[in-house]
Every structure is written in C-alpha cells, then in structure tokens.
C-alpha cells in the first residue's frame, strides 16, 4: 500500500527537457497576440495621428460623436474650430475627429 521513497521520487520527476518546453506555449501566445492585436492597434493610432496633423481649413470631418462639419480654423496643435451648421461653430479637441471625409485645397486667408 505504501510507496517506497525511491519510487515516489521517480514518479514526481518531470519528463522531458525542463524549463524551455514549458515556456514555449506562453511565448507563442504572446507572439500571436502581438501580431493580431497590438501591432494593428499601433498602426491605427499612427495613421490617426498623421490624419490629425494634416488637418487644415476647409476639410469635411466626422467627429467621434457622429457630428459632421467643416473645419473653419485650426487653432493650435490640439484644437480646431468646426462649423456644424450655417453660423454655428464649435471648438473641438483634434483627437475627437474620427474621420476626414473630404480633403480640400488649403483656403487662401484673404
């Protein structure tokens, strides 16, 4: 009924190569997560940043809340003025601009 100490020690030993084979599935999962989740998100964030930096007067934009408007003035590096209806202008943070619908040529400041 009782196991001898030598038999118990042999049964508890892990078969195989040791530490690396047990770590391999975790490394594989991380690599898959990187290519399927992390990398595409970084690419989208970089494209959004470039779109925001290229924003200029006259562009038709869609805000994060779904409001469509026309950029009247780019105030500074993180603010813009958008006309959402005739005579109705709002100040928005440029990062809330979700999409540039149509790009226009830069308007002359006359």
Please report the pLDDT score of residue 22 as a whole number: 87
Say how far residue 3 (Cα) sits from the centre of its chain. 58
pLDDT in tens, 55-109: 999 999 999 999 999 999 998 888 999 999 999 999 999 999 999 998 776 656 5
- Report yes or no: 74 and 57 within 8 Å, Cβ to Cβ: yes
Walk across the sheet containing 97-102 and list its strands.
Answer: 88-93, 79-85, 68-76, 60-63, 97-102
Domain boundaries, the chain: 16-50, 56-102
pLDDT in tens, 7-60: 655 555 555 568 888 899 999 999 999 999 999 999 999 999 999 999 999 999
Q: Does the structural domain 56-102 have CATH classification 2.60.40? A: no
Look-up of token digits 């992390």 = 38
Q: Is the pLDDT of residue 110 over 50?
A: no
Please report the pLDDT score of residue 38 as a whole number: 94
Neighbours of 52 (CB within 10 A): 18
SS3 label, residue 103? coil
């Amino acid at each position: 009924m009782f196991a001898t100490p030598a038999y118990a020690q042999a049964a508890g030993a892990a078969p195989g190569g040791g530490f690396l084979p047990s770590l391999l599935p975790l490394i594989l999962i991380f690599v898959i997560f990187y290519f399927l989740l992390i990398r595409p998100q970084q690419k989208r964030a970089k494209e959004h940043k470039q779109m925001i930096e290229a924003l200029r007067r006259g562009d038709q934009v869609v805000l994060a809340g779904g409001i469509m408007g026309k950029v009247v003035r780019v105030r500074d590096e993180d603010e813009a003025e958008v006309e959402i209806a005739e005579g109705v202008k709002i100040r928005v943070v440029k990062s809330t601009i979700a999409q540039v619908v149509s790009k226009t040529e830069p308007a002359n400041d006359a």
